[in-house]
Every structure is written in structure tokens, then in C-alpha cells.
Chain A
Amino acid sequence: MAFLSFIFRRLLQLIPTLAFILVVIFVLVRMLPGDPASAILGDRARDADVTRINAELGLDQPIPVQFGIFLKNIATGDLGNSIHLKVSVASLIADRLPVTLMLTAMAALIALVLAVPLAFVAATRQGRVADNSIRGAFQVGLSMPVFYVGLILLTVFGAQLRWFPVGGFGSSFVDHLYHLFLPALTLALSLAAILMRNLRAAIIGVVDAEYVDFARAKGLRSRLIMTRHVLRNALISTVTLFGLQVGTLLGGAVITETVFAIPGAGRLMIDSIYGRDYPVVQGLALALAVIVSLTFLLTDIVQAWLDPRVAR
């Protein structure tokens, strides 16, 4: 029961957070210099055209009035239309966001698959060759820029070895997974490095704890000690870190999506900000805020499960 009310409380807390994000995004995007008409027209923007187009878009209204209309529309589930693409923001988000989510989910999965076993190996062989080589390799992964790693992977495994396609997204679900492997790996490498280092340190800390000595003294098998006592406790801080990194992962997706030509939300967001396509920026920011908030919530739930004291 305490657990359910904990989840309920956390869900309620989402509402003011999202409302705050909405206001900030709405105002910030309009405070940027320029407007959609002159952003797209550039040199060819004549005053009469800019004024006419902005009036057609309702951008000549005071910001509070625009915000009122925006809220009214949101209440009815209408996120408006893209100024430049002339299609509904909802349909754009429905097309593009799942792609980014698939990419980040795959990256997160790859990062976990890489980080957890290797952290275990490194921690249990602290200071030895295995530990040093794992840490060394990840250090390299962490210090290289994402677009560079991406290009190397594309060149070697795409263009030269032909194991994977050179960018793109494919047409069926399996094809999507195939196309997304290299970009997901690119994204995963730096996350895996961060998680591995954290988890390794945590395991080393827990292994020396008195309750682990006690478990050993009781004569428990070492595998049981490792999974039930060491890993479970060591994972608590790593789960928090993982949750926080999801936001970073979504940010990294912007670069990865450009290098690998993936039609995701990251690139849409950047294009929309440059083009001052206010409705798209607002809609996407809202959708991303919901996702990041839900990830944090999920992180808290997992944490509460790992360490029931958190839910109290």
C-alpha cells in the first residue's frame, strides 16, 4: 500500500513540473530573435510578406493571448500544425518520437549488457590485467566525440565490411533494429563507460561491507552473496545514474540521428528550433518532458524495490 501511494504521489508531482516546462518553453522559444517567416525566407523576406505570414499564424497577438489559445487547444488534445511542414504536430511526434525512443532504448540496453558483466569482472579482479584493460577501453570510448565514433563505425562496419547499412532507418521492424544497431552502439559506448565505472566502484565498496563478511561467515555460496547482497546493493546508485543519463541519451540522439540519417525527434527538434517552428518545439518539448519525467518515476520505483526504505 505504501508503495502504491508512493507512485501516486510521484505522479501528482508530475503535473506542476510539466506545467512549468510548458510555460518556460512557450515563452523562451518566442524570446529567441527572429520569427518563423524571416527564419525561412532569409534574404527574400520582404516586410509585407513577413507581416502577412506572421499575422496568418496569429503571431502578431500578445504572448499571453497566444498562450491562452495554446492551452485551450492542448485541453482538447490539439497541439497545432507545424508552420513549415504544414502537417499536424501530433502526427509529426507520432512519426518521429518512437524512432528516437527505439534508438535510445536500444542504446540503453546495449549499455547495460556491456556495463554490468564487465563491471563485475573488473571489480572482482581489481587492479589486475582484466580490470585495467576494461577500464582503459571504456576510457577511450568516453573521451571520443559521439559523431566521430559514429563515423568510424559507419566507415568500418557499413561502407567497408558491409555488415550494416550506411545509415537510414529501413522499412520493417526487424529492418529498423538492423539499421539502428550501429547508431545505438555509438550512443551506448559513452553511457556504458559511465555505468561501468560507477558500478565497479559500488561493487568494490559493497564487497568490503560488514554484512557481506557476515554472509560469508554464515557459509552462503559466493554466487548467492554476489547476486543477492552485493549486486542488489551496488545497483542502487547505478540505477539512479542510469535514470539521470536517459536525458543525456536523448540529447546525444540528436547528433547520432544526423550522422546516421535516422528520422527521429532529435533532428526534428533542432530543425524546428532553427526554423522557429514554435508549435513543433512546444509539442516535442512537452512529449520529451513527459518521457524524461516518467523515466525518473520508473527509476524511483526500481530504486524503491531495490531499497524499500526509499518508498517510505
Chain B
Amino acid sequence: MNTLIKSAFAAALLLGASSAALAVERGGTMTYGRYADSLFLDPVLNDANVDIWILSNLYDTLILPSDDGKGLVPGLATEWKVADDGMAVDLTLRDGIMFSDGSPITQDDVIWSLKRAANPDNGIWNFLLVAVDDVVANGDKGITIKLKHPDPAILAALTVFNAAIMPKKQFEASEGATDADKAKAFAEHPVGSGPFVLKSWERGSTMELVKNEHYWAKGEDGQPLPYLDGITFELLPDDATRILKLQSGEIDGAELIPYARVDELKNASGINMEMFPSTRIADVIMNVRPQIEGKDNPLSNEKVRQAMNYAANKEAIIQIVTHGVGTPMSSYMSSATPLHTGEGAVFPYDLDKAKQLMKEAGFENGFSTSILVLAGSQDEIGTATALQQMWAQIGIKLELQQVDNATRTQKYRDGVFDMRAGAWTDDIADPNEITSYYVYSKNIQAVHSGWKSDRADELFEASQKETDPKTRADQYAEIQKIYNATGPIIPLYETPYPVALNEKVHGFLQIPLGNNVFRAAWMDK
């Protein structure tokens, strides 16, 4: 656990993925088409991917996630070390770091930012910093994070958006009585620590970011990053329009290309169709409680769940829904998540085995059940329709219930559903986030499925304090074995992030955790 990473090594890593063969060109504004607008750009109080995935451009963290999303590289801190007993983390702040208004980033700012992020009254991400007991200054440029108990994921947690460093003085000078009110006022004219600064935001239309002139990191040419003068986000919710805009050259990049259009854009001239590795998974989540609204629930039978898994032809679903873009899941967590184990599909397609299991479970003649899918979601409706036909072969009659997201959330929170389509993307380079939601029964009852394994709970609790990497990996291997064999889900597929870029764009990156990283992006003149 004694991690000491030299900054030179890490800087090499950081720049490794950008197009080193080409000489970078500076300047220009990159226009990027987004499917949905941001809501609230406060690192601590936000709650949606539309905010999370661009926040890293506005605010830096002490440690940054590496390009593959799994490792750590220096950010506002150059060095860090976890104490031998695992009860503290010592970090060294980088020399000469400044906020976008030119004021220095001080130990005070760091202490205040981390304490605000760890405060259980603030937002929904504080659980990532639940081990934090206190944050104190240490010498001129040292920071010590004191922990309540050892936390093997504490360094990864320091790379997450909510642990971003904000200016204490400027924030507290903002109008408003409470932290939430001040955050609203501050977010209108934020002062940041990231490579870009918010210049203007017309909600529902465009957001303009400009270069932070005081950013610390250096580019390949030895000059400060970022290379771009700015980024303009254009809100283009319609997939076809977003692609048309890219094809006509009005925008330089477009996110979330529908799978059906990926092949076409791969062959289009002047466009690079990028498939960035991701931690995104898609699955079906079952309600496994013995009874649902007073009626016996066949899905509570482990054999029935296994039969449904064997009868679900994931390869076929990958072809139908993702047009071959996806890959089968080999565990409940994505293969890009640290400590993932498993190879090949969790339950390879086997209809005979499925029929046999249904017979053993006493459901030879099948039963009727239902699935909640998001109205208008082609992916979910396509998946459910395919499953409807596949499961008909083992006598299961599946009814599709199309609802909006709020209705669906309410239904599964209340436990009044049979199945639902689900999806997940990690926010932290550690398996603990998805496991706390999917497996651990004491958080949200294993994604509201009602599934519970005392052994898995016990292993998870132990793993949260386990500082020996080998032991922790074993714990996760066992959790995955238990859950994958008996769990409440039908693992379907993993998909990359499909982003289409004009060929003049270089160095843009979307890391597996979803962050859109523009700091090393540049464009041909």
C-alpha cells in the first residue's frame, strides 16, 4: 500500500495517449455536440452524468485518473503516500498552482474543498469519502487526510469529481445564506482550477468554456495546457441532427452516436469514429423477493433466474441492439473496472440447460412476468423484445411495460416490479461503488432487487477496510463468483463510448469513467 509515484513517471503516462507523432497546433475553439445539457456545475452538489462528465475540465482534483481510468497520475498534488497503518494520506501540493482568476490555490482551499465534499449533508457523493475524519495542513505545502479507518479506495476517491479543489474565499463570498445557495450563485460565475473556465451558458442551447490562462500542466511543446482557446458545447438532443451537424462541418465532435450509425460513420470520409473503452454495462435486474404485491414470485427461485440467463442469447442481443458494437459481460462489473474477474459470457447461451433448470425448479410450463422499459428507448425496447422471444422458448410470457424514468424509479424503489432494464457506469476507478449498489444488501437492497447474500455482504464490508491488495482481490473474486452465479441480474453487454470527431481533432479523450477530457485536445488549422 506504500504508494509513492514520482511525478516524472506520471507525467510521461499522462501524455502517453496523445498523438505524440504529430506536432501539436495551438489555438482554435472546438465545438462539441452533446445529447443533453448540464444541470448544475457544482462538483459536490451535482447529481447527473451530464454534469459529472464535463466537470473535470473546470476543476482539477489533487490526483487525476489515468487515461485508461484505472491508475493515478499527479494533479494539483505531486506526491502522495498512504501511512503504513492505513489511517492517513499525506499529499504534497504542486508549486505555483493558481485558480483561473490568478489567485493561488492554498492549503486552506484544499482543506475546505475536501471537507465540503465529505460532509454527509452535501449532495449524494459523500459516501466516496466516508472514511475521511479530518483534513489538516502539514508544513508549507503538505496536506494530511486523517481517516476513521483504512480505506483501500481513498486514492481513487481523490480523483473523483466531487473531490475537486474550489476557491474557498470566492465561494464563501458568493451570495446566499446556506452552502447550497452559495453554490448556486458561485456556479453562475465560477472560478475554477481546471484547464478551462466557464465563460457563458445559455441553458438548453450552448455553453462556452475558455482556456484557463493559469493552468499548471504543460503540453508537449513545453507551453501551458490547454492547446485549445476554448470549447463550445452545443446542445443537439436529436441523434440525426447531431450527426448531420458533424457531417456538414458545423461541429467538430458529437457524443453518443447511436450504435446503428457507427459503421456508416466509420466509413465516412473526414470523420474519425472513436470507440472509447468504457465501464458502461447493460443488464436486466430482477425482483427476487418471495412475493410481489401478495403474489408468489417465480423470480425468487435461483434456478429460474439461471434458466432465464441461459435462455438469453447475449450474442444475438448484441447484434440486434448494439449492431455488434457491444461485448458480452463476464461479471456484474465491467471488464474495465479494477479487480474484475471472469472470462466469456457469465451464462453462455444454452437452451437445453435452460429447459432442464426450469423443469428442476418446477416451472416446466413456464409463467407470466413483466419488464419495465424506458418509453422511447430503442435499446431497452429492442432488448426486451428480443428477450420476449427468447424466453417464450422456455414457456415464459414476458409483458413489456413502457414507462418514464421517474415512474420506473418509483416502482423499483417501492419493490413493485418484476424486472427492469438497467445500466451502470462507474464514477471511481474501484469496484466498491458498483458493488455497494449492486451486491451489498444494506445500501439499496442490491439495486432494489431484494437479493441478499450474507457472505457477499461480509466480504464487501471486509474489503472496504482491507489494505492488502492481494486479499482484497481475493475478496472481490469471491463476491463476483457468488453474485454471478446466484445474483438478481441478467448481465447483457458492455459498450464503449461512441464519439464521432472531425479528422482535424486530435488528443480528445473520454476515459472509461465517462469524463470528457479536453485538456490535451487540439485541432489542425
Contacts and interface: CB of A to CB of B under 8 A. Distances in A.
Given A46-B124, A86-B40, A168-B234, A159 B407 contact: no
Nearest to B204: A263
Contacts of B202: 95, 263
B179 to A, nearest CB: 11
A80 interface: no
A38 B241 contact: no
B406 A34 contact: yes
A131 interface: no
Given A43-B437, A166-B248, A151 B406 contact: no
Nearest to A41: B47
Nearest to B248: A159
A86 B240 CA distance: 30
Contacts of A158: 244, 248
B254 to A, nearest CB: 12
A259 interface: yes
Interface stretch (A17-25, A218-226, A267-275): A267-275
A292 interface: no
A305 B150 CA distance: 82
Contacts of B447: 43
Given A46-B444, A167-B241, A39 B40 contact: no
B40 A165 contact: no
Nearest to B438: A43
B187 interface: yes
Given A40-B47, A43-B424, A95 B437 contact: no
A261 B238 contact: yes
Interface string B170-208: 000000000010011001000000000000001111000
B368 interface: no
B124 A32 contact: no
A96 B124 CA distance: 30
Contacts of A46: 124, 443-444
B184 A261 contact: no
- Could you tell me the dominant secondary structure of chain A's interface residues? helix
Contacts of A151: 240-241
Contacts of A39: 405-406, 409
Interface residues of B, number: 41
B203 A45 contact: no
B364 interface: no
A38 B413 CA distance: 9
B205 A263 contact: yes
B458 interface: no
Residue with the highest number of chain B CB atoms closer than 10 Å, among A34, A267, A275: A34
B204 A268 contact: yes
Contacts, number: 125
B406 A166 contact: no
B410 A35 contact: yes
B411 A33 contact: yes
B162 to A, nearest CB: 13
B405 A92 contact: no
B404 interface: yes
Nearest to B178: A56
A263 B235 contact: yes
Given A45-B444, A86-B187, A159-B247, A33 B410 contact: yes
A34 B407 contact: yes
Interface in A31-87: 32-35, 38-47, 49-50, 52, 56, 84-87
A40 B407 contact: no
B203 A258 contact: no
A42 B244 contact: no
Nearest to B40: A86
B250 A165 contact: yes
Given A38-B413, A49-B124, A268-B204, A259 B238 contact: yes
B236 interface: yes
B48 A95 contact: no
A250 interface: no
Nearest to B412: A43
Contacts of B443: 46
Contacts of A92: 203
Contacts of B245: 166-167, 261
Contacts of B236: 167, 261
A50 B406 CA distance: 13
Contacts of B444: 43, 45-47
A276 interface: yes
B362 interface: no
A183 to B, nearest CB: 11
Given A46-B443, A84-B39, A35 B204 contact: no
Residue with the highest number of chain A CB atoms closer than 10 Å, among B124, B234, B444: B124
B237 interface: yes
Given A159-B248, A166-B245, A87 B205 contact: no
B422 interface: yes
B322 to A, nearest CB: 20
Contacts of A159: 244, 247-248
Given A43-B437, A45-B413, A96-B204, A33 B237 contact: no
Given A38-B410, A52-B121, A258-B237, 18 more contacts: A33-B407, A33-B411, A34-B409, A34-B410, A40-B39, A43-B422, A84-B40, A86-B39, A86-B187, A95-B203, A154-B241, A159-B247, A162-B248, A166-B244, A168-B205, A261-B235, A261-B245, A267-B204
Interface of A: 32-35, 38-47, 49-50, 52, 56, 84-87, 92, 95-96, 147, 151, 154-155, 158-159, 162, 165-169, 258-261, 263-264, 267-268, 274-276
18 contacts: A32-B407, A33-B411, A41-B409, A42-B409, A45-B444, A47-B413, A86-B39, A92-B203, A155-B244, A159-B248, A167-B236, A167-B238, A168-B234, A258-B238, A261-B235, A261-B237, A263-B205, A263-B235
6 cross-chain pairs, A with B, having the tightest CB-CB distances, nearest first:
A34-B406, A39-B406, A263-B205, A263-B204, A34-B410, A33-B410
Interface of B: 39-40, 47-48, 121, 124, 180, 183-184, 187, 202-205, 234-238, 240-241, 244-245, 247-248, 250, 404-411, 413, 422, 424, 437, 443-444, 447
